[in-house]
């Protein structure tokens, strides 16, 4: 018999999501050793194979991989709740942006904020994410739009890595929108973003560009992304959110890891993503919060065999969402995804969108022991139990890092 650090036994279901497939193990168990998954399978079998000083009896519970959020803007200052009232009065996203609100308002607040203030607010948001079962988080810059603040934001993410429970994946989004002071000098701002790439090489893993009305053109994005690719960054693209620009095909052409939003993506766009192996990251909470009815064509993507991922897109203006479960619920009821598909979309496929699927996103021997224990007998309750707190416990690298109520070990 082998020795494990921890055994989770008698779970109603253990759902590995290996390779994105949802095949529950009934009466399941998981063995954890040195922060990694050592074994999993039916409880009677693992009881024969493994002994552990700590045993967690999970009768009536479900074990799933830790959730992965592949698209967030968690570093920012200020609040934009007043914009909700503007939208209720009929103002559009672009109306608010042109009135000095939107991203530019957050930029102003973030430029004024200190490193410490941004760090403290980020850690508070990450604590909420943890309570929602999110164990890996991508975090973008993009609310600085100048050298000093963009560097400050990425340095805050690096500092947060020393304190946060989650794995944090930083992305440079200097090309979020053109700042006010460069409104009549767009090329100069694109040049500035490109000039910052060598400086942020040790601070960010990915480079992203927001290609849309009111943001950057495909040609501007190409210049930035090609320069980033030459320096070894992974590429991401905000694509086809407010208007169809051709950004999806640019992402595919350049071999981007993901293309995100895709509300207005065409059939040809989807074929290009499939050919390139680019992961579509869908953000239904944005569509929901902006009172739009035009959701990304998730069903077409899935039927085509694309590995659809989901994200909160947490940001202060268009999606102040903290829960991948909430996003999964929207995707089920408003986008035609099944419970199995949304579970894969917030775990394995989301990890693919960050090049992390060899480490996290599924429960497989050798991977990090990042697990969520749900207070429910089946993973289907993720979207069946509307608004009920389901996350009972979270483990990161085999350590219990969150629990909603006491368990006897």
pLDDT at 354 over 60: yes
Which domain CATH number covers 275? 3.20.20.140
Residue 208, CA distances (Å) to 9, 57, 190, 231 in order: 42, 43, 13, 14
CA distance 207 to 319: 21
Which domain CATH number covers 378? 2.30.40.10
Regarding whether 316 and 192 lie in a shared domain, the answer is yes
Regarding whether 73 and 42 lie in a shared domain, the answer is no
Per DSSP, the three-state class of 230 is helix
Regarding whether 110 and 51 lie in a shared domain, the answer is no
Evaluated on CA atoms 325, 363, 347, 15, the torsion sign reads negative
pLDDT at 405 over 80: no
pLDDT at 77 over 90: yes
pLDDT at 97 over 80: no
Regarding whether 341 and 241 lie in a shared domain, the answer is yes
Number of domains in the chain: 2
Identify whether 73 is part of a domain.
yes
Evaluated on CA atoms 362, 259, 278, 167, the torsion sign reads negative
Identify whether 35 is part of a domain.
yes
Segment 83-107 shows an average pLDDT of 84
Segment 306-316 shows an average pLDDT of 98
Regarding whether 224 and 81 lie in a shared domain, the answer is yes
pLDDT at residue 406, as a whole number = 56
* Helix, strand, coil tally for the chain in percent (to 5): 35, 25, 40
Identify whether 221 is part of a domain.
yes
Regarding whether 112 and 8 lie in a shared domain, the answer is no
CA distance 235 to 222: 11
Regarding whether 150 and 6 lie in a shared domain, the answer is no
Regarding whether 338 and 369 lie in a shared domain, the answer is no
Segment 358-372 shows an average pLDDT of 98
Regarding whether 292 and 228 lie in a shared domain, the answer is yes
Regarding whether 164 and 15 lie in a shared domain, the answer is no
Identify whether 36 is part of a domain.
yes
pLDDT at 407 over 60: no
pLDDT at residue 330, as a whole number = 98
- Reference 307, options 298, 318, 295, 319; nearest CA is 298
Segment 334-361 shows an average pLDDT of 98
Both tokens of 269, joined, read 């766009």
Identify whether 330 is part of a domain.
yes
pLDDT at residue 367, as a whole number = 98
CA distance 265 to 281: 12
pLDDT at residue 79, as a whole number = 92
Regarding whether 176 and 270 lie in a shared domain, the answer is yes
Which residue carries 């501007």 as its tokens? 220
CA distance 4 to 311: 34
Regarding whether 144 and 45 lie in a shared domain, the answer is no
Is residue 349 within 8 Å of residue 136, measured between CB atoms? no
pLDDT at 95 over 60: yes
Tens digit of each residue's pLDDT (9 = 90 or more) over 238-296: 999 999 999 999 999 999 999 999 999 999 999 999 999 999 999 999 999 999 989 99
Residue 382's domain spans which residues? Answer: 2-66+362-403
Which residue carries 């999501």 as its tokens? 17
Evaluated on CA atoms 359, 365, 368, 370, the torsion sign reads positive
Segment 226-232 shows an average pLDDT of 98
pLDDT at residue 61, as a whole number = 98
Identify whether 276 is part of a domain.
yes
Whole-number average pLDDT of the chain: 96
Tens digit of each residue's pLDDT (9 = 90 or more) over 146-198: 999 999 999 999 999 999 999 999 999 999 999 989 999 999 999 999 999 99
Per DSSP, the three-state class of 167 is strand
Identify whether 408 is part of a domain.
no
Is residue 207 within 8 Å of residue 225, measured between CB atoms? yes
Please classify residue 57 by burial: count the beta carbons closer than 10 Å to its beta carbon, then call 0-12 exposed, 13-18 middle and 19+ buried.
middle
> What's the alpha-carbon Rg for the chain, to the nearest Å?
21
- Reference 91, options 329, 372, 290; nearest CA is 290
pLDDT at 408 over 60: no
Identify whether 297 is part of a domain.
yes
pLDDT at residue 29, as a whole number = 98
């Amino acid at each position: 018999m082998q020795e494990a650090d921890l055994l989770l036994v008698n779970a109603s279901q253990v759902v590995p999501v290996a390779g994105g497939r949802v095949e529950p193990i009934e009466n399941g168990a998981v063995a954890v050793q040195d922060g990694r998954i050592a074994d999993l399978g039916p409880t009677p079998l693992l009881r024969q194979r493994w002994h552990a000083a700590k045993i967690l009896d999970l009768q009536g519970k479900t074990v799933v991989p830790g959730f992965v959020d592949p698209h967030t803007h968690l570093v920012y200052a200020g609040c934009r709740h007043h914009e909700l009232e503007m939208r209720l009065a009929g103002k559009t996203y672009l109306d608010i942006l042109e009135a000095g609100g939107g991203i530019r308002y957050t930029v102003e607040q973030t430029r004024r904020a200190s490193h410490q203030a941004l760090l403290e607010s980020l850690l508070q948001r990450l604590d909420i994410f943890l309570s929602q079962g999110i164990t890996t988080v991508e975090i973008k810059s993009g609310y600085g739009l100048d050298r000093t603040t963009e560097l400050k934001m990425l340095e805050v993410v690096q500092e947060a890595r020393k304190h946060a429970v989650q794995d944090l994946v930083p992305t440079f989004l200097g090309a979020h929108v053109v700042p006010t002071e460069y409104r009549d000098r767009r090329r100069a701002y694109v040049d500035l973003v490109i000039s910052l790439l060598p400086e942020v090489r040790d601070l960010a893993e990915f480079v992203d560009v927001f290609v849309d009305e009111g943001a950057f053109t495909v040609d501007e994005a190409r210049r930035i992304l090609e320069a980033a690719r030459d320096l070894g960054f992974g590429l991401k693209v905000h694509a086809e959110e407010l208007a169809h620009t051709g950004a999806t095909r640019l992402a595919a052409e350049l071999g981007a890891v993901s293309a995100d939003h895709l509300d207005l993506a065409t059939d040809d766009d989807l074929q290009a993503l499939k050919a390139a192996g680019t992961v579509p990251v869908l953000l239904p909470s944005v569509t929901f919060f902006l009172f739009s009815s035009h959701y990304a064509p998730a069903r077409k993507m899935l039927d085509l065999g694309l590995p659809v991922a989901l994200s909160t897109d947490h940001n202060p203006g268009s999606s102040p969402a903290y829960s991948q479960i909430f996003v999964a619920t929207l995707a089920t009821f408003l986008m035609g995804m099944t419970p199995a598909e949304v579970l894969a979309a917030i775990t394995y496929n989301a990890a693919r969108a960050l090049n992390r699927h060899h480490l996290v996103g599924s429960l497989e021997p050798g991977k990090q022991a990042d697990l969520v224990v749900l207070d429910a007998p089946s993973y289907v309750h993720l979207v069946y139990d509307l608004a009920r707190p389901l996350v009972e416990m979270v483990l990161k690298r085999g350590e219990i890092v969150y629990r909603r109520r006491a368990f006897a070990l």
